[in-house]
Amino acid sequence: MKAIVAREPGPPEVLELREVDTPSPGPNEVLIKVAAAGVNRADLLQRQGHYRPLRGVSPLIGLEVSGTIAAAGADVTNWAVEDTCVALLAGGGYAEYAVAPAGQVVPPPLGVELVAAAAVIEVAATVYSNVEMIGLADGDTFLVHGGAGGIGSFAIQYAKSVGAIVIATAGSDEKLDYCRSIGADHAISYRGDWPAAVREVAGDGVHMILDNMGAEYLTDHVQLLAVDGSLVIIGRQGGRSGTLDLATLMGKRGLITSNSLRARTVEEKVAICRGLVQHVWPLIADDTIKQPPLTVFPLADAAAAHARLESGDNIGKIILSVAR
């Protein structure tokens, strides 16, 4: 099969289309004929050499795909060849075929075209699992950065669906307008004094911050928390080491936690996927959560797709279409 391989850690140009062996599914796995693969920030880190593939997982990049079942393992009873699906992966998505545990494979949301469905499951799983863990509730204040991106655009809409007051940051007027168009109550430029702007609209503070920045924003985030508020770190675009003001955190009875969806166990991911089908897919089907704008590249142009995501210019989600 054809797949994207990083010949070495480095810039987007290290990504090459090569012939590699087609994987075979284990007893509890399925082989998926990939229609499209989502492009995510974690993919950039893996290409740069900052993410080592987990033991026993494909070294190929790619955390989510859409497609059809090509083969099922001996113990798989709920999937048949040619069934359409989306899958949450720990790796291996940038290819014509990918293997996934059967429980991490679910039907696409109703009304979402198969190629477009490649943009759904990773962001949905990330946002849903963390919002549910914290228990974001009606009337709570929620902050997310990069509101015009894949995670941010989904987070705005999911938080609104539970009744939260949503604050989103973005880097341009076009992106700020997009955040407002999908439900953000307050859209703030992160190019100015965004902490002051958040304080002005957040009242007694922010109940949940979904943080993809990490160290760079740590001090500001702790100061912005409401009493009993939660800071959930899901990325480190702003660095991995910061200074934590324990006195401020303790005074707010604040919670700081971090999660990596990729490193969760199969059992945990299966439970999350089950929750998506039950609680999130209906919100997509009835247009409560709208699909973001999609920028589609052919699989062979994965380097250009990575460069586009790194540029910061994209609104919505980038996907790789696997043409045959």
SS3 143: strand
Binned at pLDDT 50, 70 and 90, residue 173 comes out as very high
How far apart, in whole angstroms, are the C-alpha atoms of residue 260 and residue 43?
13
Binned at pLDDT 50, 70 and 90, residue 298 comes out as very high
Q: Which CATH architecture has domain 124-259?
A: 3-Layer(aba) Sandwich (3.40)
Contact 65, 34 (CB under 8 A): yes
* Residue 244 pLDDT > 90: no
* Residue 14 pLDDT > 80: yes
Binned at pLDDT 50, 70 and 90, residue 161 comes out as very high
* Residue 42 pLDDT > 70: yes
**β-strand partners of 15:** 6
- Phi/psi at 227 (nearest 5 deg)? -60, 130
DSSP one-letter string for 277-288: IIIIHHHHHTTS
Tell the CATH topology of 2-120+285-321.
Quinone Oxidoreductase; Chain A, domain 1 (3.90.180)
* Residue 238 pLDDT > 80: no
pTM of the model: 0.93
How far apart, in whole angstroms, are the C-alpha atoms of residue 316 and residue 56?
32
pLDDT in tens, 57-98: 899 999 999 999 999 999 999 999 999 999 999 999 999 999
Contact 219, 196 (CB under 8 A): no
Spell out the domain ranges in the chain.
2-120+285-321, 124-259
* pLDDT at res. 313: 92
Binned at pLDDT 50, 70 and 90, residue 150 comes out as very high
| 165-169: average pLDDT | 98
